[in-house]
Structure 1
């Protein structure tokens, strides 16, 4: 009762706030929409916004378990102005703040003192903000997050501007210009605000997520979005996409290869030619290549494989969906195909229902949703997608549709799986804000390994899942390093859409397709098998990390600064990240056999040799090609499973618990059927693991009647 009264007082006070100088009589309206989350609005916000497409209700019960919220500044100091150009927002910024986020950024990590324009683009480049998943959302190490709820192209000046005011300007030494670099270098004091420019807007909504710590901000955001994603447990295995022109026989042969070679694989992905038309899409099986698709699906299921289909959302005139969607599409074509108006629930349902009846009910476990991230804005010749001035029957325009297209596309497909009580793990090329609950892994046609690592780190700032896929490689070493990174990401994915054989049998594309395998192919295959078995041993740990994401909002993959926001040495580390509660990953690329690793406070153990390191220091480490570049935090009980070649509905994981350090902290495993949403109705167990008096203990609580985890051994590392 006291808490409700407090909310009422806060809400009443916030409702009394007004905006000075904001174009006439418009009032700034603010309200507490959930514990630690405030919404500020001014003017007439757009009809279509990222939060407007979020169907998931905030997990308010979980949010109330977080520490008391607070802001490092007075919320009244956020200034909003509506002008003839649009909306300008100014948010206070202190000298010592570090800023992160803006979606799946590829070219930058710490965003302080940068100009960012998060725009969806199929070729993210430099540090401009162009990305597969643009988000008008940033967070501060001071313990708050600011989300501008807009689908418009928006620019953030992150402490880069100095505004003329009535205050006496600070006198600084002029530059004489000894070089061009010196003239343009921004080496002065950072500006006192983050200024946000939203052209064309007539009003705006701002969501303020409070801490007190950086991790709490992300938890609030993810929980407010409906909780984090919990994919089907088989989705945490290995996914392999076969060559685009494979027929039913070749797919079957590839499946047989994985099982006879004892190489783990749970998902086989079919690329464009599985359907009669791909650019644009027919969504109709190509009966020449796949004469018996249902037979294929069923035979693959018996071998323990799930089938994933490639597609995009542009509807071919050859598709059964073309005529029904013709009046529910944009006024421009893409590859001569319709652009469905997914902002219209009726169009979304029509698209989803077709997939439900034609594919999902037949056993298709997931989709790869391609080409939803716009043409490359950096070149004039890249102009395949619909223009920004497109119009749609719902009223959304082309610019806004581009920004949210990946989200509304995901929603149309994922909604069907939820209706059928089937979990999945999708692939998608674009996303946006409030997508935390979608089990959809982003991917990219870019292929710079160092950038792939940075995208894992950045994904945790925005409620996103990122998969650094493996294709061909420059060398065997490059292949192994890329595979290590894939093993230590949300989804271990090999994309061989243009390779006849797996890349570990021949790294050279031309020779691979000429059936010329490497002389040492068997050795490389064995080494890949070792890494993929490591992945399978981590599945129970990873699944629990995703359960924490779902139920507590804790990102399963996150930057060091998230857990150590007061450690200045973590502020710019973009090539290390935390996995769950006890693992620190420091991937290597082919460029070096060793690298520097910073380990935060506490003691850490090298996973490969159990060597102990004191935290708060930097070390030079070496990791072999068949090892994992990870460190385990002292106090961790790490559950490692005996590897399996796939995860079936009745798979029981045989667990060895490895205890690191003298004072281990109790840990848990999340146990359910792994394939339905029954856990949301209480159909799960929490398996508590503890080490007491030099003895391991297992305690299972919950209503799930089966046993997925059996702890068979304990090991102690001091």
Structure 2
């Protein structure tokens, strides 16, 4: 050894801490999806926590070439951390990186993907910190790690860059930028290795579809979940809930499920998960009565166990070292803990007819959630539990409903990659209407659902504007846990509120079919304009007047479309916010028509509209078909037939696939579902004529009489 060069000896000692993975092997695990492994990944990751089972639909997809130059993907493990680098082209925009609230365009962002409550800054701390991004060039990257991941989304410039930015002289160049061009997305994962997935397109929407199908496909809620929900005051009694339900019926407002807030429990913060017999003396009788009124019951809870809970001693060995509001934290990554908790839920709630949950406070803040110094009996770190706790509560509660043969639809405060198939919608305590719509758009890039819920308003205008947007979102909900507000709280806009609530119900066949496409095809039911063909990438920069005294590094940024979105296959929704009397709408390529009148609105142009207060602006693409049903107070039940009015817009022929099943059970997984093809074609006499395919023998058929309405005259 004395003759062996000391420098080479030291280099050999360092090799275990430096793993260069430039020649990483990529295995195509499904058509258009490749998996690569760098180093030694954690045994516990996002997909394992979610129990994600890829959808069989993946194998029916067309093959596609690997969308990047493999040599440009770099992964290396240094001192127990994994450094990742993915290439970027100059004319490329990025979308995704979780449920963000202020930005659609993610290129140039610096984030730490960390499960937390949204704190009014897009810094990666959010309810769904999904480590997945989509490129405008039609590919996607997913890093499957239950870790806090640092992301530099085209914001860091390496000195060995293949495409370095041009060196500028700020003294003479008025286009000098404080953020020089970067040709890479770089990530730092605090683990000794990681799984990486690459998704082909060819279109960005196809990338998202593949990502969602890898998680099992999107959720398919029961029809009643797509109706209207009212969350009542936190301390309401069973009698007060009855009176609320009767008031909805008397006033003619739709209502499908009522959410009970903390007061249904004997104790909360921390929780017993047991009924308060002073407020709800006969829980099973109460739920039977609500069910007879066609109203489901949803229960608020969080998973932190009160010392007064009947399961406290039994579950205590399977809890973490720290408490939340003095409640123990079950280590739900352990089957023993999840069984104890959800066996209680099943016995006390589901077996007597409870239809769903609102699972609160599984996201953050650091000030109340368990700290990162906490340890858990499974051996998984606090960080790993933080990143996956929302997945775990969804998985085990959903499994419970599956065992009982009934679909559910509820609310949760946190999710992550792998959770697309769980029938839960994210919400939070922020109340910015504008941020809510940005989040709704971003949810489509992240494989999650989000609701811009209504809680309270200072004016009738604000109340109506907020109400309009929830009726064009995954969950039409008033959350009156504190305000006790009701749809008719502002009498001056009560007719408009009723009209949009009825419209939500009329559109049930459309919403249900679009969620079926989410389940079977992975297509997000609500999504950003960048995913709409003919809209363009939105990369064109506007010149702005810069105030260098206030900000010496200010620069022009790429335009973002954060206030309009696609709702299903055919609808473009352009909400207005409080105080707005007009707005601009960007119409993609092709003709677009007013949803309410059928009149031509424009074609591949920016229009300015002044719709008034009564309606939320909605536009339909040429040839669009919207199946509608009569306005009902409750969603159709299992096997209930409803008449259809099928609307056609524009001048082009159109087609649409209408989905049907029993709407409440899991029989669709046994093949008991159908797609009915709707076609509208122009005849030789110049008139349009519609037809719908016959119902399949032995398959569900809830379609009654069909009428046709050709909206464009």
TM over 0.5: yes
Number of the residue aligned with 2:606: 618
The yes-or-no answer on 1:708 pairing with 2:692 is: no
The answer to whether the 8 Å contact 2:58/2:213 transfers is: yes
CA RMSD of aligned residues (A): 2.2
Give the direction of change, closer, same or farther, for the CA distance of 1:394–1:633 in structure 2 (3 Å limit): same
State how far apart, in whole Å, the 2-side matches of 1:658 and 1:272 are: 43
The answer to whether the 8 Å contact 2:50/2:391 transfers is: no
* Correspondence for 2:502 among 533, 541, 544: 533
2:505 is paired with a residue whose SS is helix
State how far apart, in whole Å, the 1-side matches of 2:216 and 2:568 are: 20
* Correspondence for 2:231 among 241, 253, 257: 241
TM-score, normalisation: structure 2: 0.91
Q: Deviations over 1:413-451 (max 9, x none)?
A: 011111222101010010000111011000111000000
2:431 is paired with a residue whose SS is coil
State how far apart, in whole Å, the 2-side matches of 1:586 and 1:496 are: 26
Number of the residue aligned with 2:584: 596
Number of the residue aligned with 1:416: 400
Give the direction of change, closer, same or farther, for the CA distance of 1:568–1:204 in structure 2 (3 Å limit): closer
* Matched ranges for 1:360-439 at <5 A: 360-375=350-365, 383-439=367-423
The answer to whether the 8 Å contact 1:70/1:211 transfers is: no
Give the direction of change, closer, same or farther, for the CA distance of 1:284–1:177 in structure 2 (3 Å limit): farther
The yes-or-no answer on 1:339 pairing with 2:290 is: no
The answer to whether the 8 Å contact 1:22/1:80 transfers is: no
Q: Deviations over 1:649-701 (max 9, x none)?
A: 34332211111122222112111110011011111122221124332212134
1:104 offset after TM fit, Å?
Answer: 0.9
1:565 offset after TM fit, Å?
Answer: 7.3
1:622 offset after TM fit, Å?
Answer: 2.1
State how far apart, in whole Å, the 2-side matches of 1:255 and 1:226 are: 36
1:695 is paired with a residue whose SS is strand
Is 431-440 or 658-667 further displaced after alignment? 658-667
State how far apart, in whole Å, the 1-side matches of 2:341 and 2:193 are: 32
The yes-or-no answer on 1:51 pairing with 2:47 is: yes
Q: Deviations over 1:372-413 (max 9, x none)?
A: 0111x5xxxxx1110012111111111111111111111110
The answer to whether the 8 Å contact 1:671/1:704 transfers is: no
2:694 is paired with a residue whose SS is strand
Give the direction of change, closer, same or farther, for the CA distance of 1:242–1:38 in structure 2 (3 Å limit): same
State how far apart, in whole Å, the 2-side matches of 1:414 and 1:168 are: 48
Give the direction of change, closer, same or farther, for the CA distance of 1:300–1:224 in structure 2 (3 Å limit): same
The yes-or-no answer on 1:669 pairing with 2:658 is: yes
The yes-or-no answer on 1:304 pairing with 2:294 is: yes
Is 707-716 or 452-461 further displaced after alignment? 707-716
* Correspondence for 1:261 among 231, 235, 251: 251
1:178 offset after TM fit, Å?
Answer: 12
The answer to whether the 8 Å contact 1:440/1:465 transfers is: yes
2:646 is paired with a residue whose SS is strand
1:688 is paired with a residue whose SS is strand
Q: Could you list the runs of 5+ residues in structure 1 that have no partner in the other structure?
A: 1-19, 378-382, 507-520
The yes-or-no answer on 1:202 pairing with 2:192 is: yes
The answer to whether the 8 Å contact 1:267/1:306 transfers is: yes
State how far apart, in whole Å, the 2-side matches of 1:689 and 1:24 are: 56
State how far apart, in whole Å, the 1-side matches of 2:292 and 2:633 are: 13
Number of the residue aligned with 2:320: 330
Give the direction of change, closer, same or farther, for the CA distance of 1:703–1:108 in structure 2 (3 Å limit): farther
1:474 offset after TM fit, Å?
Answer: 2.2
The answer to whether the 8 Å contact 1:31/1:38 transfers is: yes
Number of the residue aligned with 1:91: 86
Give the direction of change, closer, same or farther, for the CA distance of 1:714–1:84 in structure 2 (3 Å limit): same
Q: Deviations over 1:50-69 (max 9, x none)?
A: 01123242124x22443432
The answer to whether the 8 Å contact 2:695/2:701 transfers is: no
The yes-or-no answer on 1:659 pairing with 2:648 is: yes
* Correspondence for 1:37 among 27, 30, 33: 33
* Correspondence for 2:628 among 635, 640, 654: 640
Q: Deviations over 1:607-631 (max 9, x none)?
A: 1232203321100112233323210
Number of the residue aligned with 1:144: 139
2:468 is paired with a residue whose SS is helix
* Matched ranges for 1:178-189 at <5 A: 186-188=178-180
1:407 is paired with a residue whose SS is helix
Q: Could you list the runs of 5+ residues in structure 2 that have no partner in the other structure?
A: 1-14, 540-558
The yes-or-no answer on 1:114 pairing with 2:109 is: yes
Number of the residue aligned with 2:77: 82
The answer to whether the 8 Å contact 1:684/1:704 transfers is: no
Number of the residue aligned with 1:512: none
State how far apart, in whole Å, the 1-side matches of 2:606 and 2:61 are: 32
State how far apart, in whole Å, the 2-side matches of 1:393 and 1:700 are: 57
TM-score, normalisation: structure 1: 0.90
State how far apart, in whole Å, the 2-side matches of 1:128 and 1:257 are: 43
Give the direction of change, closer, same or farther, for the CA distance of 1:254–1:40 in structure 2 (3 Å limit): same
Number of the residue aligned with 1:290: 280
1:534 is paired with a residue whose SS is helix
> Across the two proteins, how many residue pairs are aligned to each other?
672
State how far apart, in whole Å, the 1-side matches of 2:339 and 2:137 are: 42
Number of the residue aligned with 2:552: none
Number of the residue aligned with 1:511: none
1:702 offset after TM fit, Å?
Answer: 3.6
* Correspondence for 2:619 among 619, 623, 631: 631
Is 690-699 or 230-239 further displaced after alignment? 690-699
State how far apart, in whole Å, the 2-side matches of 1:345 and 1:410 are: 14
* Correspondence for 1:486 among 470, 473, 476: 470
Number of the residue aligned with 1:10: none
1:317 is paired with a residue whose SS is coil
* Matched ranges for 1:60-75 at <5 A: 60=56, 62-75=57-70
* Matched ranges for 1:427-466 at <5 A: 427-466=411-450
1:483 is paired with a residue whose SS is helix
